[in-house]
Structure formats: C-alpha cells, structure tokens
Amino acid sequence: MPQVSVIIPTYNRAHILMRAVDSVLAQTFQQIEILVIDDGSTDNTPEMLNAYGGRIRVLSQENGGVSLARNVGIQAASGQFIAFLDSDDAWMPDKLERQVAALTAQPQLPLCHTEEIWIRNGVRVNPKKKHRKRGGYIFPYCLPLCVISPSSSILRRELLDEVGLFDEHLPACEDYDLWLRITHTHDVVFLEDPLLVKYGGHDDQLSRKYWGIDRFRVQALVKLLETAALTDEQRRQTCRELQRKCAILAAGCRKRQKIEECTYYTNLPTKYCGETQ
C-alpha cells in the first residue's frame, strides 16, 4: 500500500504538466501513488499522460474546477498521507521524505508545509512579508490571505475526514477556506527549507481569472462564522478580517457604481458580527 497519495489536478496544461509529474517520480521517498485528475482537458494532456503508463493513475472527468478535481483524487486515494501538487509547480527531490519524517516524529500534528521558491515569468522573485510561512498555531496569520500553498502541503488523511474536503462552491480561494477550517483547531508543522518551486505569471492562474479575489475569501469567512466552533478571540479576529475585506470590496463596488453589491458588503459584517468588531 502506498504511504503517500499525490494528487495532481490539471486542465489544459500539457505543456508544463510533465515537469510536475516528473518531480514526483524523482522523489527519494517512493512509497507513493500518483493520481492525476484530468479536469476535462481539450489539449493533448491525455496523450502526454498515456506515455507514463502504469507509473501514474489518471482519472478523467468533465471540467468541474480544481476543488472537484482534488476531491475526486482524495476519494480515490489509498495512502495514509495526502499530498497536493498543482500542475504548474514542482517539488524538490527530498520533499516527501522530509515531510513524512516530520509528521512521523510529531504524530499529534496533522499537516506539514514548507518554504518555497517563487518563479514569475522565468525570474525568481522574493515573497513579501505578508506571505511569510510559519508553523505551530497559525490561524490568525491565515485570515488575511492564504499562507499555505497546496503544493507544499501534506496531511494525514483522517484530517480531511474531520474537517471536510475542498468546497466545490468556491471557484477560487478554496485552499484559503480549507486552511481556516484546519488551523482554528490544529497546529501545523513547517519546514524552513524551500522544497517547492512555484511557477507563476501565466494567463490561466485563478488569481488572474477572477476580479476581486477577496469576494471568495469573504464567503469562506462567513462560512467559518456560521459553522465553526470558534473561541471568542478567534471570532473577534475573524470579524475584524471580515470587516476589513468588506470595506475594501464595498469601496471598489462604489467606485464602479455597483450600488447593490456595495450595500451588501457594507452590511455584511454587521449581520454576522454586530456593530463592533
């Protein structure tokens, strides 16, 4: 039985998908299964994947988005650990070995993520301070933006049984939503060495596809307030972040004369948090 199930969702990325798959096959840790979920690609992705033969398992479906693709992979996986890799990223050879060892040494912790290298349009760039990675209790740092890259994460399968899968109703920020559901009750492991290379700058990134990406983070914050058993301090922190994001979105809607949306974002924090946050 594989100890780690690696889940790679992809859509029309045959030109870069091989880099991701090859980085998994090159891992020093080999008790793995590789599940590539082809989310309705219309390019030559199927032919490219066929060349790998039995070294990978391909699951094909109609285009349904990254959350559905990852969830299909999770449900088909058989490993004790689940690792995610986006099709435009790549791993360092010892990533899985280091992470499995870290989680084995700390069985009380359910998730491990790592530092990463950023490449934008072929040039290495430095993340800003707000993107700083951390371990331990990181819930407050997860509220402003996503500080765990899915491609850097590995987690125990039972964690997803506890908190649920990716939210298929979110077209973006689905990872932000999942990390909030995890980190408000669990500490995490962080490895300071960069074991992931993230490639950006291409036109099909979700952050470029949707305007006002904070709209989806607001949805995740509202869901957290509605369904999670937050402490009083966590609720205050979540309300402050909801208020901040809604103020920015309301100002943007006002500028574009989207009055109905402006009113919605203006009133939303009061609805869930009262007059004072």
Whether 115 and 195 map to the same domain: the answer is yes
Domain count within the chain: 2
With 60 as the cut, is the pLDDT of residue 268 above it? yes
User: End of a domain among 188, 209, 230?
Assistant: 209
Same domain, 238 and 199: no
Q: Which H helix or E strand runs over 201?
A: none
- Whole-number pLDDT of residue 207: 56
- At 109, the pLDDT band (50, 70, 90 cuts) reads very high
Q: Are strands 123-125 and 89-91 parallel, antiparallel or unpaired?
A: unpaired
Q: What's the pLDDT at 14? A: 94
pLDDT in the model for residue 88? 95
Kindly state whether residues 126 and 218 are assigned to the same domain. no
d(CA 33, CA 157): 14
Q: What is the CATH number of the domain that holds 175?
A: 3.90.550.10
Same domain, 191 and 220: no
Cβ atoms of 155 and 132 closer than 8 Å: no
Same domain for 259 and 134: no
Same domain, 185 and 161: yes
Same domain, yes or no: 260 and 156: no
Q: Find the mean pLDDT for residues 151-165.
A: 97
Domain boundary among 190, 209, 228: 209
């986006």: which residue's tokens?
86
User: 198 and 236 in one domain?
Assistant: no
Last residue of a domain, one of 209, 237, 259: 209
Percent of the chain with pLDDT over 90: 90
Confidence of residue 212 (pLDDT cuts 50, 70, 90): confident
The verdict on 204 and 220 lying in the same domain is no
What is the residue range of 84's domain? Answer: 4-209
**pTM reported for the whole predicted model:** 0.93
Same domain? For 64 and 33 the reply is yes
* Tens digit of each residue's pLDDT (9 = 90 or more) over 246-267: 999 999 999 999 999 999 999 9
Do 187 and 141 contact (CB within 8 A), yes or no? Answer: no
User: CB of 114 within 8 A of CB of 189?
Assistant: no
Assess whether 85 and 181 both reside in one domain: yes
CA torsion sign for 13, 19, 25, 31 is negative
Percentage of the chain beyond pLDDT 70 is 95
End-to-end CA distance of the chain: 49
Residue 147 burial (CB count, 10 A): 20
pLDDT at position 141, please? Answer: 97
Residues 116/147, Cβ–Cβ less than 8 Å:
no
Nearest C-alpha neighbor of 66 from the set 193, 168, 200: 168
The count of other CB atoms within 10 Å of the CB of residue 222 is 17
Rg of the chain over all Cα atoms, to the nearest angstrom: 19
Q: Could you tell me if 111 and 195 lie in one domain?
A: yes
Which two tokens mark 66? 């990254």
Q: Examine the pLDDT at 42 and tell me if it is beyond 90.
A: yes
